[in-house]
Structure 1
Amino acid sequence: MMNDLTLIDSASVAMPEPFVGRHLIDGAWTDSAETFQRHSPAHGTLVSTSAKGGVTETEAAIAAARRAFDTSGWAETSGKYRATLLLKVADLIDARREEIAVMEVLESGKPISQSRAEIEGAADLWRYAASLARTIHGDSHNSLGPDMLGVVLRDPIGVVSMITPWNFPFLIVSQKLPFALAAGCTAVVKPSEMTPSTTVMLGEMLIEAGLPKGVVNIVLGFGDPVGALMSAHDSVDMVSFTGSTGVGKRIAAAASGTLKKLSFELGGKNPQVIFPDADLDAAADAITFGIYFNAGECCNSGSRIIVHEDVAEALTNKIVALSRKVPFGDPLHPDTQVGAIISPEHQAKIAGYVRDAQSGGAKVALGGQALTLDGLPGQFYGPTVVTGVTPDMPIARDEVFGPVLAVLTFRDFDEAIQLANGATYGLSAGVWSTNMHTCLQFARKVQAGTVWTNTWMDGFPEMPFGGVKQSGQGRELGRYGLEEFTELKTLTMRVTPGRDNWVKG
């Protein structure tokens, strides 16, 4: 029942004036003939009006990035120069943290406490990328004999198209852009049309930090035509995309004509496997966090648990009890932990998965319905736990992207691995056991880019992030994330005179 939940009605916080967003092209702020608007998914109020880019603006942005890479000297700047600039950006992010966080709340619906932490984390990413800018290097080979020396150079790949999603708009652009800049690349960035404004704010900070014109360009608008052209254009050397697997496949098809490099962070149906010797209280709390964080609108959402049948009922009861205590409601209230769903269409999709599971024989142990909150006309979906789920159900296979937990059970280790690896995705996975042999055996066998043992969703800039199978290709973060934006060049040198002639006589 809804009255068993912890709900937070409108905090009656005064709304700021709507943000006006423009494109950043070749160092200049640019308008378009058309605009588009974004209303708060929680409050219903107008929060931003943005220039709506098309082919003309996208072509201009790509041309500016191409010129900046080929002729401005940016790619040849020292690591010290680039690092200093990135550190200035990090300081500017810190100075505007609250302003950025509030806009993130208004456009995405996420809670203000979470948004503040994400902006702080984004600044840390810029500082970490700055450290990498001064450590990037190639290799030398002096074992090729007395006459030869081999040098492997690591060059910036060139112009990068970056297409970012609506669920973590500022954090994800900060997982891409500073690493590309540290490598010496130039970029064209398209944020989601649902959350464009904080990327524009980042553009303001880049200019204030002294970034040369054309090195970063921002085009606001929709996937068609902006994202499509950024993916297919001959002058683009690489596409870095975070979003759904379906869109990733379309980008790959569009980019195939030029064989440009692709780096994708796509969907996930991430399992947590709980063995009978696990600390059930710790697991229950982490599972509750993993499914409700960002309202489940998270590629790393722990959206399915695979729990040993001996402890399934006890663990599910703990999760349901904790779920009732999680505050859902106004994302501007400091106590809220789960805010609004991004759009009415997405809320309907979430509800459809729950109804489908019920019709297939699954049981809803908690929730399964939208929430009505006083003073908040937006869309909210309650904490939902679905039990009796079988592997063939869409709720067990598809990325629901909402606060909906699917509970499956297993009998032995082999069945747990089979269920965990049964999805087409392979982004992340978790294992809960007090036996480290079990944890390590699971980690070796599960098909996932990240494996958490006795925790969930801890992340660090130093650790690479990305998926296998249909969760993507390439990696972000860590030194691997920097290397994604580089190409290797082999330099083979004769260092002594007297090369043997091939033509004799």
Structure 2
Amino acid sequence: MSTDTLTQDHAEQVVLPPGKHYIDGQWSDGSGSERRDVVDPSTGRVVTTVPEGTVEDVDRAVAAARRAFDSGPWRTMSPRERGAVLQRAAALIMEHGEELARLESLDTGKPITFARMIDTNTTAEHFSYFAGLAGAIEGATRGIRGPGLAYTRREPLGVVAAITPFNFPMILSTSKIAPALAAGNTVVHKPAEDTPLTALRIAELLTEAGLPAGVLNVVTGHGAVAGDRLTRHPDVDRIAFTGSTKVGSAIAATAAANVTPVTMELGGKSANIVFDDADLDEAVQAAVSAFVFNTGQFCMGGTRLLVQRGVYEQVLAGVVGGATHVPVGDPLDEGTVVGPMAGERHLENVERFVALADGEGGRGRVVAGGQRIEKDGGFYMAPTVVADVAQDSRLVQEEIFGPVLTVQVFDTEEEAIALANGTPYGLAAGLHTKDVARAHRVAARLEAGLIWVNTYGILDVSLPFGGYKASGYGRENGPEALDEYLQTKSVYVAL
């Protein structure tokens, strides 16, 4: 896919050549005639089209991945040889970093500064980190009774189906693809239907890095067709999914029919707690960035702010002031902090939630934002703060996935913990306090897979994350992620 026009800004219409599937190391138009528009969310204009993947397209991709696993060289390479290919991939991603950042910004509406600093860098780090871990894949001898030798082998699973969402296309794709490849598996990737562009480019770069044909395949299209076939396919040996809890639950039920293991990183409704002894300036700054980052399209975003009563009004005023002055605008503008929502239906969904502040019997009041921003035909939502929200409000209990913050008051540590844990989700949480004992005590009791203390949203490829409760199971990042793509075989040799 040529991306020569990506040096343009939004003063000019960016148009890319039509996209294709990437199957068995080659571009493919697909078996069907239908194509899907890829829209620039900052303008609402179509920038290219990609194929609507069919059952036949998915079957070809899985067959290519199966051949590459059963007969190709990837699985039989030494872990260090595989690691060398992934290191070259990391270097190529950094070499093409500006191109990938602009492609990601064009596809998702992500501010270009974040696409460069966070998305592209993290994507490269995924490959370099798991390239290093690949060399550490090894079994162990075990002491047993009797005259025999026993040892374990750590082996790849086979064909991995990676199904990924629209909000962090590069990061949430490569957090699955990199460890799966490092372990010796092959992959069929179905990116989000709205944001497939970087997935296709990265597959091309991995081939350039030396990945054999068929080891990574990308099929674009709708989840109800391409995604559904992929999750039902009997030749898929693991499913790695990031998305909504509703869709994840359906995929898990489907996978159970084939006894296919799944990794699920699902929805979140993360609490961010401010105690009265916190550094309030730092807490307010963290609270604002926690809910506006990536236009609120962040499954671990701090979308529920819980503030101790003695500092409630002060913190609320600070958050309202901060939210009101966040720079919202063209994602290719270097000063933009909040870009558009990734699509019109996402914006409309956020608007429906905000309307509940007045429609649930006075449960909450909008104190900042609350409306879309008309700009260049794009899908912009003003950062929104809803104060004094009841715990049983849908605004608190359901994932909004936009730049909307609810603010609640609490009196005691016990109450804060109860409120924080009082939703179906458990992906992440934050807390702000100067009391070290309290920080450890509360962190231990919060039902979430990742806890931040006196900060929010800092991630590292070495630090595993994943959900409690309805936020899913399994872990991404860290050595724990590699374990998801390996299986253990025990061998007993009689002597």
TM-score bracket, normalised by the shorter chain, equals over 0.9
CA shift at 1:174, angstroms?
A: 1.3
Partner SS, residue 259 of structure 2: coil
Q: State how far apart, in whole Å, the 1-side matches of 2:344 and 2:240 are.
A: 28
Q: Are the aligned partners of 1:153 and 1:490 in contact in 2 as well (CA < 8 Å)?
A: yes
CA shift at 1:359, angstroms?
A: 2.5
Corresponding position: 1:27 with 2:29: no
**What is the match of residue 168 of structure 2?**
168
Q: State how far apart, in whole Å, the 2-side matches of 1:325 and 1:493 are.
A: 69
Q: Which amino acid aligns with 1:410?
A: F
C-alpha offsets along residues 235-291 of structure 1, whole Å, 9 cap, x if unaligned? Answer: 001000011111101111211111111001110000011111011110100111010
Q: Which amino acid aligns with 1:389?
A: V
Q: State how far apart, in whole Å, the 1-side matches of 2:14 and 2:374 are.
A: 24
**What is the match of residue 292 of structure 1?**
292
**What is the match of residue 250 of structure 1?**
250
Partner SS, residue 252 of structure 2: helix
Q: Are the aligned partners of 1:18 and 1:46 in contact in 2 as well (CA < 8 Å)?
A: no
Partner SS, residue 349 of structure 2: helix
- Matches for 1:73-112 after TM superposition, within 5 Å: 73-112=73-112
CA shift at 1:139, angstroms?
A: 2.1
Q: Identify if the C-alpha distance between structure 1 residues 26 and 11 changes in structure 2 by more than 3 Å, giving closer, same or farther.
A: closer
Q: Are the aligned partners of 1:466 and 1:472 in contact in 2 as well (CA < 8 Å)?
A: yes
**What is the match of residue 51 of structure 2?**
51
CA shift at 1:140, angstroms?
A: 1.9
Q: State how far apart, in whole Å, the 1-side matches of 2:140 and 2:406 are.
A: 48
**What is the match of residue 133 of structure 2?**
132
CA shift at 1:154, angstroms?
A: 1.1
Q: State how far apart, in whole Å, the 1-side matches of 2:358 and 2:452 are.
A: 30
Q: Which amino acid aligns with 1:132?
A: L
- Normalising by the residue count of structure 2, what TM-score does the alignment of the two structures yield? 0.95
Q: Are the aligned partners of 1:306 and 1:408 in contact in 2 as well (CA < 8 Å)?
A: yes
Q: State how far apart, in whole Å, the 2-side matches of 1:104 and 1:12 are.
A: 14
Q: State how far apart, in whole Å, the 2-side matches of 1:111 and 1:77 are.
A: 39
357-366 vs 223-232, which moves further: 357-366
C-alpha offsets along residues 36-82 of structure 1, whole Å, 9 cap, x if unaligned? Answer: 11121111222121122101110010111111111213212101110
- Matches for 1:65-464 after TM superposition, within 5 Å: 65-117=65-117, 118-142=119-143, 144-145=144-145, 147-360=147-360, 361=362, 362-373=364-375, 376-464=376-464
Q: State how far apart, in whole Å, the 1-side matches of 2:58 and 2:359 are.
A: 46
Partner SS, residue 74 of structure 1: coil
- Normalising by the residue count of structure 1, what TM-score does the alignment of the two structures yield? 0.93
Partner SS, residue 337 of structure 1: coil
Q: State how far apart, in whole Å, the 2-side matches of 1:456 and 1:363 are.
A: 25
**What is the match of residue 4 of structure 2?**
none
Q: State how far apart, in whole Å, the 2-side matches of 1:413 and 1:12 are.
A: 49
Q: State how far apart, in whole Å, the 2-side matches of 1:369 and 1:97 are.
A: 34
Q: Are the aligned partners of 1:241 and 1:264 in contact in 2 as well (CA < 8 Å)?
A: yes
Q: Which amino acid aligns with 2:366?
A: V
CA shift at 1:137, angstroms?
A: 1.6
Partner SS, residue 110 of structure 1: coil
Q: Return the index of the structure with the highest Cα Rg.
A: 1
Partner SS, residue 214 of structure 2: coil
C-alpha offsets along residues 422-444 of structure 1, whole Å, 9 cap, x if unaligned? Answer: 11000001111100111111111
Q: Are the aligned partners of 2:22 and 2:203 in contact in 1 as well (CA < 8 Å)?
A: yes
Q: Identify if the C-alpha distance between structure 1 residues 251 and 12 changes in structure 2 by more than 3 Å, giving closer, same or farther.
A: closer
CA shift at 1:310, angstroms?
A: 1.1
Identity %: 39
Q: State how far apart, in whole Å, the 2-side matches of 1:105 and 1:180 are.
A: 26
Q: Are the aligned partners of 1:19 and 1:197 in contact in 2 as well (CA < 8 Å)?
A: no
Partner SS, residue 226 of structure 2: helix
471-480 vs 364-373, which moves further: 364-373
Q: State how far apart, in whole Å, the 2-side matches of 1:64 and 1:393 are.
A: 48
User: What runs of 5+ residues in structure 2 fail to find an aligned partner?
Assistant: 1-7
Q: Are the aligned partners of 2:73 and 2:212 in contact in 1 as well (CA < 8 Å)?
A: no
Q: Are the aligned partners of 2:164 and 2:242 in contact in 1 as well (CA < 8 Å)?
A: yes
Q: Which amino acid aligns with 2:369?
A: G
CA shift at 1:91, angstroms?
A: 1.2
Partner SS, residue 378 of structure 2: strand
Q: Which amino acid aligns with 1:244?
A: S
271-280 vs 33-42, which moves further: 33-42
Q: State how far apart, in whole Å, the 1-side matches of 2:213 and 2:383 are.
A: 47
**What is the match of residue 502 of structure 1?**
none
C-alpha offsets along residues 381-420 of structure 1, whole Å, 9 cap, x if unaligned? Answer: 1011100101100000111101110001111111111111
Q: State how far apart, in whole Å, the 2-side matches of 1:73 and 1:123 are.
A: 24
Q: State how far apart, in whole Å, the 2-side matches of 1:146 and 1:227 are.
A: 50
CA shift at 1:181, angstroms?
A: 0.5
CA shift at 1:494, angstroms?
A: 2.7
CA shift at 1:11, angstroms?
A: 6.8
**What is the match of residue 499 of structure 1?**
none
Q: Are the aligned partners of 1:464 and 1:477 in contact in 2 as well (CA < 8 Å)?
A: yes
C-alpha offsets along residues 446-493 of structure 1, whole Å, 9 cap, x if unaligned? Answer: 100001111111111111111111101100111111110011111223
Q: Are the aligned partners of 1:13 and 1:332 in contact in 2 as well (CA < 8 Å)?
A: no
CA shift at 1:13, angstroms?
A: 3.9
C-alpha offsets along residues 173-214 of structure 1, whole Å, 9 cap, x if unaligned? Answer: 111101100000001001111001111101111111121111
Q: State how far apart, in whole Å, the 1-side matches of 2:436 and 2:184 are.
A: 42
Q: State how far apart, in whole Å, the 1-side matches of 2:22 and 2:185 are.
A: 17
Q: Are the aligned partners of 2:89 and 2:209 in contact in 1 as well (CA < 8 Å)?
A: yes
- Give the superposed CA RMSD: 1.4
User: What runs of 5+ residues in structure 1 fail to find an aligned partner?
Assistant: 1-9, 496-505
CA shift at 1:135, angstroms?
A: 1.0
Q: State how far apart, in whole Å, the 1-side matches of 2:354 and 2:116 are.
A: 31
Q: Which amino acid aligns with 1:28?
A: Q
Q: State how far apart, in whole Å, the 1-side matches of 2:9 and 2:205 are.
A: 30
Partner SS, residue 377 of structure 2: strand
Q: Are the aligned partners of 2:324 and 2:369 in contact in 1 as well (CA < 8 Å)?
A: no
Q: Are the aligned partners of 2:44 and 2:379 in contact in 1 as well (CA < 8 Å)?
A: no
Q: State how far apart, in whole Å, the 2-side matches of 1:11 and 1:133 are.
A: 40
Partner SS, residue 269 of structure 1: coil
Q: Are the aligned partners of 1:48 and 1:197 in contact in 2 as well (CA < 8 Å)?
A: no
Q: Identify if the C-alpha distance between structure 1 residues 185 and 12 changes in structure 2 by more than 3 Å, giving closer, same or farther.
A: closer
Q: Are the aligned partners of 1:357 and 1:394 in contact in 2 as well (CA < 8 Å)?
A: no
Q: State how far apart, in whole Å, the 2-side matches of 1:307 and 1:259 are.
A: 45
Q: State how far apart, in whole Å, the 2-side matches of 1:285 and 1:226 are.
A: 42
CA shift at 1:29, angstroms?
A: 1.0
Q: Which amino acid aligns with 1:207?
A: T
Q: Are the aligned partners of 2:19 and 2:51 in contact in 1 as well (CA < 8 Å)?
A: yes
CA shift at 1:149, angstroms?
A: 2.9
Q: Are the aligned partners of 1:240 and 1:264 in contact in 2 as well (CA < 8 Å)?
A: yes
Q: State how far apart, in whole Å, the 1-side matches of 2:372 and 2:95 are.
A: 37
Q: State how far apart, in whole Å, the 1-side matches of 2:140 and 2:386 are.
A: 53
Q: State how far apart, in whole Å, the 2-side matches of 1:363 and 1:227 are.
A: 39
